[in-house]
């Protein structure tokens, strides 16, 4: 590597470091906005965050930075460090998406997203979609405008939106995978609903306190070996995990006073996201590669801990004594078998985040099908609640009574479309690598023993190690030795729930 390249590499890394500082500050403000910021301060808080985020954006749009990064990309074979090569490849890929987006437009998009979040929160609280509709249209239009500014984009720009969240995955892929899901799982759902097996769930809605739920959340994170010296947790309206820095990975949850299971699985889900961030290769931070992992990869991990591990009989056996201790009155007359079955009951429901493992993917299919209609402008924004309600009736046989438990339940459309399919892809990914994990050690035995260090180490070595540098289809093949297939997940559901419902 010659002297000119060394100087270019230094300029690139110095600029990325400065941008990282601005973005870190913006992320802290965003975390504050969604947790403890007072309602009347939210929009102003968001404006400050948008300003800081845009300062970071200006740095990576600086002509000197772009010239240096593109020069390094064109001479990548001369870079001796493979991680430097990966860094400039990712910078080139990112630049192709933002090349024609000015800082002014980026700032405008940030303000649109900020206003959308504030409008969504008010609309959800008032159960009135009309309060959010204008912002949703603005988000949709801005997403579309930015994609169409790219030098190269698909004829159907929803494919580009999917690619932004799940690199290399298209609508034709998802149509096939979701089609397989509907073909095999809809008939099984009907068999489960017709099964004479009755599962007791009355105790799930017994009132609990926030303090009881906080204690349970803390315990579950300790079981998972979440590093509290590098993280914390609190509550929010819509739970999320925020990776603020290499030593600051924060979790949020939500306490439902009449459905304590919601917090249990939310905290395990978000804990999975956090472990992915805490246990990713340390050098990712030094080479600014922490943004390479896709949302499908991330959701695969969170839903692996939440469902494959968290709803297993072994995990329930592990945590049941503590649950009985914390929820003394609520679980006084409940057996471990009843608790396990209740955690896995199949009950078509209205709210995605509280859906059972079996019907969850139908919630995603509904959103995916709607997003295609929205982005192709085949439906007016104002008519979306009616379509939402119709699809819930079609797939799950339930109809929302208001917009809060219907179309306003999720925060995602305040910033982008194309995210939702990644949740379902995550289920399919983790079924594949769970099968591979079982070849190396007895996973069930490790869960029974509470040996999450063993599980997490395997995840670190196999699932997390290359997530920031491989495209999803290559990543899952690297882990499992096989091409992607939804079949492992469908087999898992059929085997597990046929046993529970004695089919």
Annotated catalytic residues are: 270
CA angle 478, 179, 312 (to 5 degrees): 60
Query: CA–CA separation, 223 vs 185, rounded Å?
Result: 32
Q: Give me 233's structure tokens.
A: 């947790």
Distances (CA, A) of 14 to 20, 49, 263, 340: 10, 22, 41, 52
Nearest partner of 309 among 454, 482, 476, 420, judged by Cα:
454
CA angle 432, 437, 441 (to 5 degrees): 155
The length of the chain in residues reads: 503
C-beta of residue 267 within 8 angstroms of C-beta of residue 221? yes
The per-residue DSSP string of 310-322 comes to TTSHHHHHHHHHH
Query: CA–CA separation, 427 vs 433, rounded Å?
Result: 10
Residue whose entry in the numeric block shows the structure tokens 């809809």: 186
Pairing of strands 241-245, 248-253: antiparallel
Helices marked H in 294-420 — which ranges? 295-303, 313-326, 336-343, 360-375, 384-396
Q: Give me 68's structure tokens.
A: 């240096």
The per-residue DSSP string of 437-500 comes to HHHHS-HHHHHHTT-HHHHHHHIIIIIITTTTTS-HHHHHHHHHSS---SHHHHHHHHHHHHHH
Residues 6+ apart with CB under 8 A from 96: 150, 151, 152
Q: What is residue 112's three-state secondary structure? A: helix
Q: Which helix (H) or strand (E) holds 251?
A: strand 248-253
Query: CA–CA separation, 365 vs 371, rounded Å?
Result: 10
Query: CA–CA separation, 77 vs 136, rounded Å?
Result: 44
C-beta of residue 240 within 8 angstroms of C-beta of residue 207? no
- The DSSP 8-state label assigned to residue 130 in this structure reads G
Pairing of strands 231-235, 241-245: unpaired
Q: Give me 235's structure tokens.
A: 């509550």
């Amino acid at each position: 590597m010659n002297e000119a390249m060394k100087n270019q590499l230094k300029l690139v890394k110095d600029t990325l470091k400065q941008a990282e500082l601005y973005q870190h500050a913006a992320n802290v403000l965003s975390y504050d906005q969604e947790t403890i910021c007072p309602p009347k301060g939210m929009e102003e808080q968001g404006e400050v965050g948008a300003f800081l985020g845009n300062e970071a954006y200006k740095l990576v749009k600086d002509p000197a930075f772009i010239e240096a990064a593109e020069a390094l990309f064109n001479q990548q074979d001369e870079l001796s460090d493979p991680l430097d090569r990966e860094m400039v490849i990712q910078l080139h890929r990112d630049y192709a998406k933002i090349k024609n987006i000015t800082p002014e437009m980026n700032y405008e998009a940030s303000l649109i997203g900020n206003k959308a979040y504030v409008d969504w929160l008010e609309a959800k609280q008032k159960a009135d979609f009309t309060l959010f509709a204008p912002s949703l249209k603005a988000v949709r239009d801005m997403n579309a405008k930015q994609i169409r500014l790219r030098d190269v984009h698909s004829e159907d720009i929803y494919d580009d939106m999917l690619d932004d969240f799940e690199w290399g995955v298209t609508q034709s892929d998802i149509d096939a995978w979701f089609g397989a899901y509907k073909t095999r799982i809809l008939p099984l759902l009907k068999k489960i609903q017709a099964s004479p097996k009755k599962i007791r769930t009355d105790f799930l809605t017994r009132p609990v306190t926030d303090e009881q739920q906080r204690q349970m959340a803390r315990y579950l994170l300790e079981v998972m070996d979440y590093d509290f010296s590098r993280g914390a947790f609190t509550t929010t309206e819509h739970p999320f995990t925020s990776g603020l820095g290499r030593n600051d990975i924060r979790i949020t949850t939500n306490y439902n006073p009449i459905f304590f299971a919601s917090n249990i699985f939310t905290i395990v889900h978000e804990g999975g996201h956090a472990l992915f961030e805490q246990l990713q290769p340390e050098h990712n931070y030094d080479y600014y590669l922490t943004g390479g992992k896709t949302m499908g990869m991330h959701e695969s991990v969170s839903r692996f801990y939440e469902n494959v591990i968290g709803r297993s009989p072994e995990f329930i056996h592990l945590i049941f004594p503590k649950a009985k201790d914390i929820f003394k009155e609520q679980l006084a007359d409940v057996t471990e078998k009843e608790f396990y079955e209740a955690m896995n009951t199949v009950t078509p429901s209205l709210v995605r985040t509280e859906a059972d493992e079996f019907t969850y993917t139908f919630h995603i299919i509904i959103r995916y099908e709607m997003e295609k209609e929205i982005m192709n402008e085949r439906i007016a924004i104002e008519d979306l609640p009616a379509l939402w309600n119709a699809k819930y009736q079609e797939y799950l046989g339930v109809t929302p009574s208001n917009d809060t438990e219907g179309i306003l339940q999720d925060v995602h459309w305040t910033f982008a479309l194309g995210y939702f399919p990644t949740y379902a892809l995550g289920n399919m990914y983790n079924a594949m690598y769970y099968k591979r994990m079982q070849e190396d050690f007895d996973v069930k035995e490790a869960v029974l023993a509470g040996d999450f260090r063993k599980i997490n180490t395997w995840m670190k070595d196999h699932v997390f190690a290359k997530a920031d540098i491989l495209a999803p289809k290559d990543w899952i093949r690297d882990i499992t030795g096989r091409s992607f297939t939804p079949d492992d997940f469908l087999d898992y559901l059929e085997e597990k729930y046929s046993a529970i419902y004695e089919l």
